[in-house]
Structures are given as structure tokens and as C-alpha cells.
């Protein structure tokens, strides 16, 4: 019996290692996307060609993840297999009202223009900003 438990444990470890590799590949491609992914997505399991994760993304993080979906999906298929399906389980704490203005403002300031496919000068984030100025 012990051998079966070790095998199951090592298989689970390989799946978590693959998820870590996914985060690493996303980070190499887009740091802002990787930060949002790592902060908000939690590996649950990979079984029967289905990757299951929990998401607590909200507000700007949710938007960043949506816009980066093609990158994420491509790397999931590369690492877990071309036929992999992704199941997202929304976290119970996921609401669209919990981010502070400061956190949203900082993310908006640091988000790369390639992610949104448009210019993100400090003025373009003004709807998230109070009267702060950026140095």
C-alpha cells in the first residue's frame, strides 16, 4: 500500500511542477500577467485532460487575465497537452468590489501596453486614480 501512496504523491507533485512551469512561462512572456495569474489562480487538480484551478481574480486582475487568455491557454496546451480543458472554479471570496483604489492604481500604472494593446500612459489610468501623481 505504501508504494501506491508514494506513486500517487509523486504524480501529484509532477502536476504541481507543471503548474509552476506554466507560471514561469507566463512570467517570461508578460510579467504583469504572471503577477495577476500567480496572485489569483490556485491549482486544484489535473485529471482526465482537465486542468482545474480556483480563481479569486476581481477588478483589474480579472481584466488582465481575460486579456492574457490566449497566452495562458497556449502555455496550458504546451505543458499539459493540446487536448487539455480548463475548468475555473470561482473562489467564494471573489467579488468585484474588494480592491482598494491604491492597488488598482498601481496595477494600472505597471500594466504593459502590449497586454492592453494600447497606450497606457499615466493619464490613461486616471479613472482609477485619485489626485496622486507618479514619479
Domain ranges of the chain: 2-96
The answer to pTM > 0.85 is no
pLDDT digit string (tens) for 66-113?
999 999 999 999 999 999 999 999 887 544 444 444 454 455 555 544
Question: Which residues make Cβ contacts (< 8 Å) with residue 29, sequence separation at least 6?
Answer: 71, 75
Question: Can you list the alpha helix ranges (DSSP code H) found in 30-68?
Answer: 31-40, 59-67
The band of 9, judged by pLDDT with boundaries at 50, 70 and 90, is low
CATH match of 2-96 with 3.40.50.2300: no
Residue 55: predicted pLDDT: 96
Residues of the chain above pLDDT 70, percent: 58
Q: How far is CA 31 from CA 8, 11, 13, 15, 55, in A?
A: 33, 29, 25, 23, 18
Amino acid at each position: 500500500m505504501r508504494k501506491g501512496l508514494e506513486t500517487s504523491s509523486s504524480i501529484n507533485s509532477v502536476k504541481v511542477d507543471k503548474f509552476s512551469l506554466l507560471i514561469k512561462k507566463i512570467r517570461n512572456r508578460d510579467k504583469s500577467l504572471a503577477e495577476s495569474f500567480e496572485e489569483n489562480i490556485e491549482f486544484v487538480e489535473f485529471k482526465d485532460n482537465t486542468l482545474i484551478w480556483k480563481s479569486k481574480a476581481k477588478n483589474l486582475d480579472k481584466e488582465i487575465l481575460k486579456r492574457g487568455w490566449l497566452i495562458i491557454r497556449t502555455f496550458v496546451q504546451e505543458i499539459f497537452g493540446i487536448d487539455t480543458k480548463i475548468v475555473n472554479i470561482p473562489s467564494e471570496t471573489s467579488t468585484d468590489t474588494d480592491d482598494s483604489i491604491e492597488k488598482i492604481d498601481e496595477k494600472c500604472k505597471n500594466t504593459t501596453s502590449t497586454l492592453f494593446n494600447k497606450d497606457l500612459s499615466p493619464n490613461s489610468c486616471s479613472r482609477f486614480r485619485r489626485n496622486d501623481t507618479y514619479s
